[in-house]
Chain A
Amino acid sequence: MHIPGAREAPIAPQADDTAAARADDAGMPTTTNIIETHGVTKRFGARAAVIDLNLTVPRGSAFGFLGHNGAGKTTLIRMLLGLTQADAGTMTISGRPVPEERAQVLARVGAMVEEPHFHRHLTGRENLRVIAAARGPEAAGRIDGALGRVGLTDRADDRVKTYSQGMRQRLGVARCLLADPALLILDEPMNGLDPGGILEFRTMIGELTGEGRTVFLSSHLLDEVEKTCHAAAVIDRGRIIAQGPISELLQDEHNEIDIGCDDRHAALDLLDGHPAVAAAYPTPDGIRVTLTGTEGAAAVNARLVTEGILVSRLEPVHESLEQRFLEMTSRVGGAA
C-alpha cells in the first residue's frame, strides 16, 4: 500500500502509465495533460466566478486545486462536468472538448462535487445501482469491488441515512469508481472527516494515483494537498495565480535562514549592517535572517561564532504550502 506522506512521496506522472494504457483500451486519446482549459470564464449575473482561466493538469498525477471558499473551484469543476455552461473559453478532458463530447469523456471520469448526495432511503448498494444503471451494463459489475475498496461491504445493505459523514464520503468515492475512471474529480472530499478519515482518504488517493489514475483534488485543506498531491494550482477570485509542481510552488524566494543561538539580542546587533543580511528579527528560539543573496549563510555563521555567539542551529526556512498560499492569495495579502 502506497501512502504519500511527504512532498517527495507522490509518484511523478508517467507517459506510459496504467491509466494511459486503459485510456488506449477505451479509445480515448492519451494526451500528456488530462485536463486543459483555455480562457474559461463564467459569470453569475454581474459577478464573475471564473475569469480567463488557463489550467493544465498532467495525466497520472494527484493534482491539488487550491482556493478560498468562493474562489471559483467548484464552478470550474461544474463546468468540466457539464453541470453548468461556461460563458467563454475552451476545455478538454483527455484531449476531447467538453461539453461537446462530454458523453464519451465522462464515461471514464468519476466525480464527487461538494458533499456527496444520495437517496437516503436506499441502501449504499442500491445507490450505486442507480448510478451504474446510467453508466452502462459494465458499471453494475463493479459495484461489489467498489464497495470493498472503500471498506463498505459490511454496511452496503444498510440505508444511507444511517451512514456517518465519513461513510458517505467513502460511498461517494465508490460511486466514482464505477466508471473505472482515468480521472477522478474530488471536490473538498475531506470536508467533515475526522483525522482517521482524512488519513484513510489520503491513503486511498495514493493508491488511486499509484494505479495510474489522475486525481484532481479541490480543497482548501492545504496541508492535505501538500501531503497528497504532486502538483497544484492556486485559484483566487476566479483567476489562477500559480500552478505547477508542489516543489516549485514551495520554492523559497526569500533566502531566509533560522539561527538558533544563546544570545539573540547580541546576534541581532552583530548582524545589523552585515552585507549578507537584508533583514533580521528575533524568533522564540533564535533569530530569522533574510539574506541578500543565495550565498551568505556561512559568512553570517562565521561572524556570529567569531564574536563568541554560540550557534546551535542554522537551517534554511522552508515555507509550507499554507504559508505560500496565504502569501499568494490577494485576500490575505490585502489584509496584511
Chain B
Amino acid sequence: MTLTVARRMIGAEILKVRRNRSVMAVALLLTVGSIVLMYGYVAIRHGSDPLNNPPAGGAEGLRRGILDLGRFFGMLAAVLIGAEVGTADLSSGVFRDLVSTGRSRLALFAVRLPAAAIVTLSLSAVAYAIALAFAFALPGGTPTPSLGLVLQGAGWIALANIAVAAVSVGVGSLTGSRAVTLTAIIGWQVILTNIVLNVGSLGGARDVLLTPALDQLLPVASPDNSVVMATGLGIVVVCAWVGLSQAVGAWRTRTQDA
C-alpha cells in the first residue's frame, strides 16, 4: 500500500465518521461541550462568591480540564469515535465491498486507528484550546499554567485519547457491533475499573489496568492514588493495551467471512 493510497483510505475513514451527525454531535458535546459547561459553571460560582469558590482558570483550572479531556468525558468521546470507526464497515455491510476490491484486509484494518485518532484529537484539541483560554483568561489571581504543564497536558490527553480509541477500534473490529463495543468498553473503563481499583487485596494485579497505567504519566495529581507503579511499567501497560487490542482487531478482520 503506497502512502497516497493510505492517505486516501484514512481520509475515507474520517469522512465516514465526520459525516455521521449523531456521533459527531455527541463527541462534540463530550469534549467541547463538557469543557465549556465545566469552566462556565466554575466561573459563575467564582463570580458569585470569589472567597469560597476557586477561579475557573489558572494552573488548577487547567488541571481540571486535562482530567476532563483525558480521563472522563474526553475518554468517552474517544470510545465513541473508536467504536464507530471500528464497526462502521461491518455494521453497514460495506466491508464485503471493500474486501472485494482486492485491498488486503490488514490494510483495511490498519487505517482505522489513524482515522479514529485524528478525529478524536481534533475534537480534543479544540476543547483543550478552550480550556487554555479559560486558564489564562480567568486565573482569578492564581498562577497561570506553565508552558511545561500546557505541553505535558496536551501530550497526555493525546496519549490517553489515542490509547482508548485504539482499544475501541480493536474491540469494535472484533465484535462488529457498535452497541456491544460501547457497552463493553464504557462498562469496563467507567465501572469495572473503578471497582477493581478499590479491591486492595488484588495488589499488583491491578497494575494491568489501563486507567492507572495512564495515571502514572499524568502531569497533574491523579484523582485516584490506589495503584502506584513505575512510569516505565505504566508505559508498558499502555502499549500492551493498544497492541493487544489492535492485534485482536486485525486478526478478526483478516479471518472473518465478509
Taking Cβ atoms with an 8 Å cutoff, the residues of A that contact B are 78, 81-84, 102-107, 109, 111, 113, 116-122, 126-127, 129-137, 140, 175, 179
A132 to B9, CA, bound (A): 9
Partner of A83, one of B9, B100, B103: B100
Question: Are B98 and A134 closer than 8 Å at their CB atoms?
Answer: yes
Q: List 14 A-B contacts (CB under 8 A).
A: A78-B257, A78-B258, A81-B100, A83-B99, A106-B101, A107-B101, A107-B102, A111-B97, A113-B96, A118-B92, A122-B16, A122-B19, A131-B97, A133-B11
Complexed CA–CA distance, A126 and B92 (Å): 14
* Interface pair A134/B12, CB less than 8 Å apart: yes
The reply on B201 being an interface residue by CB < 8 A is no
Query: How far does the Cβ of B218 sit from chain A's closest Cβ, in whole Å?
Result: 36
Contact assessment for B103 and A140 in the assembled complex, using a CB-CB cutoff below 8 Å: no
User: Please, which residues of chain A bring their CB within 8 A of the CB of B40?
Assistant: none
B164 to chain A, nearest CB (A): 24
B15 A126 Cβ-Cβ under 8 A: yes
Complex Cα–Cα for A81 and B8 (A): 23
Q: Is A119 within 8 A of B16, CB to CB?
A: yes
Contacts A107-B102, A117-B92, A131-B101: A126 and B19 contacting too (C-beta < 8 A)?
Answer: yes
Query: Given A113-B96, A133-B12, A134-B12, A102 and B258 touching (CB < 8 A)?
Result: no
Complex: A119 Cα to B5 Cα, angstroms: 20
Interface residues of B (CB under 8 A from A): 4-5, 8-9, 11-12, 15-16, 19-21, 88, 92-94, 96-104, 108, 257-258
CA–CA, A106 to B97, complex, Å?
11
Known A-B contacts A136-B5, A137-B5, A140-B8; A130 and B102 likewise in contact (beta carbons under 8 Å): no
Report the minimal beta-carbon distance from B179 to chain A, rounded to whole angstroms. 17
Contact (Cβ within 8 A) B102 A118: no
Chain B residues with CB under 8 Å of A140's CB are 8
Do residues A134 and B92 form an inter-chain contact, with CB atoms below 8 A?
no
**Given A83-B257, A134-B12, A118-B94 contact (CB < 8 Å):** yes
Asked if A134 and B96 make an inter-chain contact with CB atoms under 8 angstroms apart, the answer reads no
The residue of chain B having its C-beta at the shortest distance from the C-beta of A98 within the complex is B102
Contact across chains for A109 and B15 when beta carbons are under 8 A apart: no
Contact A129 B102 (CB under 8 A): no
Leading 8 A-B pairs by shortest Cβ distance = A117-B93, A106-B102, A133-B12, A133-B8, A83-B258, A134-B103, A111-B100, A130-B12
Inter-subunit contact B257/A130 (CB<8 Å): no
Distance in Å: Cβ of A86 to nearest Cβ of chain B: 12
Shortest C-beta distance, B155 to chain A (Å), equals 30
State in angstroms the CA–CA spacing of A310 and B204 once bound together. Answer: 104
Choose one: B11, B92, B102, B258; the contact of A84 (CB below 8 Å).
B258
The listed residue (A109, A118, A120, A136) touching B100 by CB distance below 8 A is A109
Tell me the smallest distance from the CB of B99 to a CB of chain A, in Å.
6
Please judge, given known A-B contacts A126-B19, A130-B16, whether A120 and B99 are in contact too, CB under 8 Å: no
Separation in Å of the A207 CB from the closest CB of chain B? 22
Cα separation A121 to B16 with both chains bound (whole Å): 8
Contact A83/B96 with A107-B102, A121-B21, A134-B103 known, Cβ cut-off 8 Å? yes
Q: Of the candidates B4, B8, B19, B102, which one forms a contact with A105 in the assembled complex, judged by CB atoms under 8 Å apart?
A: B102
Across the interface, which residues of B come within 8 angstroms of A133, CB to CB? 5, 8-9, 11-12
Residues of chain B lying within 8 A (CB to CB) of residue A129: 12, 15
Measured CB to CB, the nearest residue on chain A to B15 is A126
Provide the bound-state CA to CA distance between A118 and B20, in Å. Answer: 13
Tell me the complex Cα distance, A195–B100, Å. Answer: 29
Q: Cβ of A84 and Cβ of B20 under 8 Å apart?
A: no
- Min distance, Cβ B117 to any Cβ of chain A, angstroms: 18
Q: Which of B4, B94, B103, B257 contacts A117 (CB 8 A)?
A: B94
Task: Return chain B residues, CB-CB under 8 Å to A134.
Answer: 5, 9, 12, 98, 101, 103, 108
B19 and A121 contact, CB distance less than 8 A: yes
Whole-angstrom CA separation of A135 from B99 in the bound complex: 10
In addition to A78-B257, A131-B101, 5 A-B residue pairs with Cβ atoms within 8 Å of each other are: A103-B103, A109-B102, A121-B19, A130-B12, A130-B16
Looking across the interface, which residue of chain B has its beta carbon closest to that of A105? B102
Interface centre among A109, A129, A135, by most chain B C-beta atoms within 10 angstroms, is A135
Determine the chain B residues whose CB is within 8 A of the CB of A117 once the complex forms.
Answer: 92-94, 96-97
Give complex CA distance A107, B108 in Å: 15
**Nearest-Cβ distance from residue A103 to partner chain B, whole angstroms:** 4
Q: Do residues A175 and B12 form an inter-chain contact, with CB atoms below 8 A?
A: no
Interchain CB contact (< 8 A) of A135 among B4, B88, B101, B258: B101
